[in-house]
Structure formats: C-alpha cells, structure tokens
C-alpha cells in the first residue's frame, strides 16, 4: 500500500514535466557547443526543451521532495530524528528548578539548548552521514555522469536540510509548548530572532557538514569520527545547562565553535529578558552571535566548495569498486 501512491505521484510529475517542458522556454543548444545532429531516434521533440539550468533546478527541487518523502516514510530513520525530540521533552518534564538567579524554568533553557543542538546535529551529523553514504553507494557518481546532476543534488540536499531543520524545530517547540509548558518567543521581535538565529546557525553548520561529508572515508568510520567532537561540544557549549557552571578555560574553547552561539541566540529568542542574568556576559551578545555564526558560514563555504568539487571529481567506477572491496573486507573481518 505504501507503493501505490508513490508511483501514482511520480507518474503525475512525469506527465506534468513533459508538458511543461514542451510549452515553456524555447532554446537552442548553448552557443559554442558543437552538437552534431542527434540520431534520428532523438529528433522529434527537438523543437522545445526547457533551458538546461531551469531543468536542473527543477530536477533538484523534485529530488529534494522525493528524498524528504523517503525520509518521512522510513520508520527507522524517522525515529532516529524523533528520539531526540522525545528525549528533550522527557528531560524538560523532569526539570523543575529554576535557572540560577532568575525565575526562568530550567526546562526552558534546556529546550532552547536542544533546539540549537538539533540544528547543529542536522548540519554536522546527519548531513555528512547522508553525503558519505551516497558517495559510497555511487549516487554522487551517477549524478556526476548525469547532465546537471551535481547542481540538482546540491539543490535537493539544501531543501532536505531546511525541511529537516524546520520540521524538527516546529516539532520540538510545538510539542514542548503543548505538553511541558515549553518556551515560545515573546512577541514579533522574539520570532524574528528565532528565525535569523536558526537560518544563520544552519548556514554556519551546513556547509561545514558538507565539507566533512566530502572528506570522511565511509559511513561506518564517519559516525565515530563525528560523534565524539559533537558530543564534547554539546556538553561544553552551555546548551544543556548554564555555561557559567563550567571552568573558564572550557568556556573559552567552546565559544570558538558555533553551537554555543546558536544556543545563546535561541535562548535570547525563547527566554524572557530576565534570563540574561544567567549568561556569562550578562547579556545575549546578539551582535557577537551574528558575527561568529557568519564567520563559520563563510569558513564553511570556503571549505565546502573545493572539497565537494574534489569529491565529485574523484568519483569513478574503479574507486567506487575499491571502496566496496575494502568495506566488504573490513566487514568480513569484523563479523
């Protein structure tokens, strides 16, 4: 039953696809390319094809939608995401004390921190894992061999990440507000802060995650390599409890990384102003939040573009086969 509606869906997209294509932009092949006459089989229909770039965007958007649907229909993977939300809710339900020096419930601070951490995790754990897995299976190679495949892949992955982030935030904050009296932004200013901190936070971690996904060896090692630093940052960034409880040295190191600032920015959006008292600086430091997250975003893009390009360029059938051979060897030894 799962299958029926999916195919029905793709069938419709296919039909709309071709009719759209036949009616819209009329273009000749890009200037400068020497395209000899196509074989006769391909000739009818030569009249109107959508512009290549448009076609690639469209393919990317369609791909993002399909990937999201697969995620939502995969109970195993979906539960991996949901379990985080459940843990946050349970934790928030048990916390009954206040943030030291304020009347703000500790649960609100923890839920804000969880929201930041989940964005962080989507960018730096989920995304690299997806990239490494798809690299290893050959999806990246297939897209490289397909005209416009790599741009479409990037579009699809961006959409998927945004959808995952948005879905997670809505689910976490929504269920928390309903079930455990969780925090919600106060007034339009608070919503606006929530929006820009989330967007900037994603921009800070997603390119970085893409860069990591482009260099990590294989899905099995990848998870181990990623989780240790991520967990360390989770503990040291003040996302779960006030940063001031940690040694100053640890605070300084943690404040280099984006998670601390994402959490701080989300606290400013979700907690009342009085909660500032618990911040090490005594204020939300929003300009610093913006600055540091932007710096990470720039760094991430600078790293991700050449690394992704390199990863795509290095894909070939023999390298893929070699990785599979190694994987089966190590798998055999492990078992």
Region of 9-17, 108-116, 229-237, 258-266 interacting with other proteins (CB under 8 A):
9-17
CB of 323 to other proteins, least distance (A): 8
Nearer to other proteins, 142 or 310 (CB): 142
| Tally of CB atoms within 10 A around 160 | 22
- Give yes or no for residue 332 binding other proteins (CB under 8 A): no
The reply on whether position 220 binds other proteins by CB under 8 A is no
- Only segment of 48-56, 213-221, 246-254, 303-311 that touches other proteins (CB under 8 A): 48-56
Asked if 56 touches other proteins (CB under 8 A), the answer is yes
Answer for the pair 138, 243: CB distance below 8 angstroms, yes or no: no
Q: Is residue 38 a contact residue for other proteins (CB under 8 A)?
A: yes
**CA separation for the pair 120, 175 (Å, rounded):** 20
| Nearest to other proteins of 57, 301 (CB atom) | 57
Which of 19, 17, 40, 38 lies closest to 29 in space, CA to CA? 38
Indicate if the alpha-carbon torsion angle 286, 288, 291, 294 is positive or negative: negative
Using CB atoms within 10 Å of the CB of residue 178, give its burial: 0 to 12 exposed, 13 to 18 middle, 19+ buried: exposed
239's tokens = 């996302």
Per the rule left: phi > 0, alpha: psi between -120 and 50, beta: everything else, 207 is alpha
Give yes or no for a contact between 173 and 111, defined as CB atoms under 8 angstroms apart. Answer: yes
**The binder of other proteins chosen from 24, 25, 146, 328 (CB under 8 A):** 146
CB of 124 to other proteins, least distance (A): 23
Binding stretches for other proteins (CB under 8 A): 3-4, 6-7, 10-11, 13-14, 17-18, 29-30, 33-36, 38-42, 45-46, 49-50, 52, 55-56, 58-59, 62-63, 66, 70, 74, 134, 137-139, 141-142, 144-149, 152, 315-318, 320-321, 324
């Amino acid at each position: 039953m799962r299958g029926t509606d999916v195919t029905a869906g793709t069938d419709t997209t296919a039909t709309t696809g071709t009719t759209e294509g036949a009616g819209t932009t009329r273009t000749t092949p890009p200037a400068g390319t020497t395209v000899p006459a196509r074989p006769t089989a391909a000739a009818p229909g030569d009249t109107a094809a959508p512009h290549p770039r448009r076609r690639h965007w469209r393919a990317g958007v369609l791909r993002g939608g399909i990937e999201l649907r697969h995620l939502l229909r995969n109970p195993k993977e979906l539960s991996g995401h949901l379990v985080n939300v459940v843990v946050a809710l349970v934790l928030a339900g048990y916390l009954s004390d206040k943030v030291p020096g304020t009347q703000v419930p500790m649960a609100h601070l923890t839920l804000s921190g969880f929201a930041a951490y989940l964005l962080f995790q989507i960018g730096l754990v989920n995304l690299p894992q997806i990239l490494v897995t798809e690299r290893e299976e050959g999806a990246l190679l297939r897209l490289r061999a397909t005209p416009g495949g790599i741009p479409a892949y990037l579009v699809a992955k961006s959409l998927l990440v945004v959808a995952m982030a948005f879905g997670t935030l809505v689910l976490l904050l929504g269920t928390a507000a309903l079930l455990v009296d969780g925090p919600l932004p106060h007034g339009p200013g608070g919503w606006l802060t929530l929006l820009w901190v989330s967007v900037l936070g994603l921009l800070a971690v997603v390119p970085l995650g893409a860069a990591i996904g482009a260099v990590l060896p294989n899905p099995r090692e990848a998870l181990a390599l990623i989780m240790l630093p991520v967990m360390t940052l989770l503990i040291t960034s003040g996302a779960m409890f006030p940063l001031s409880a940690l040694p100053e040295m640890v605070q300084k190191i943690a404040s280099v990384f984006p998670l601390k600032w994402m959490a701080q920015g989300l606290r400013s959006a979700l907690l009342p102003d009085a909660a500032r008292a618990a911040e090490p600086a005594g204020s939300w430091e929003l300009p610093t939040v913006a600055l540091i997250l932007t710096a990470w975003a720039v760094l991430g893009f600078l790293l991700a573009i050449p690394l992704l390009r390199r990863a795509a360029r290095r894909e070939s059938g023999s390298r893929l086969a070699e990785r599979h051979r190694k994987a089966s060897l190590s798998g055999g030894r492990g078992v």
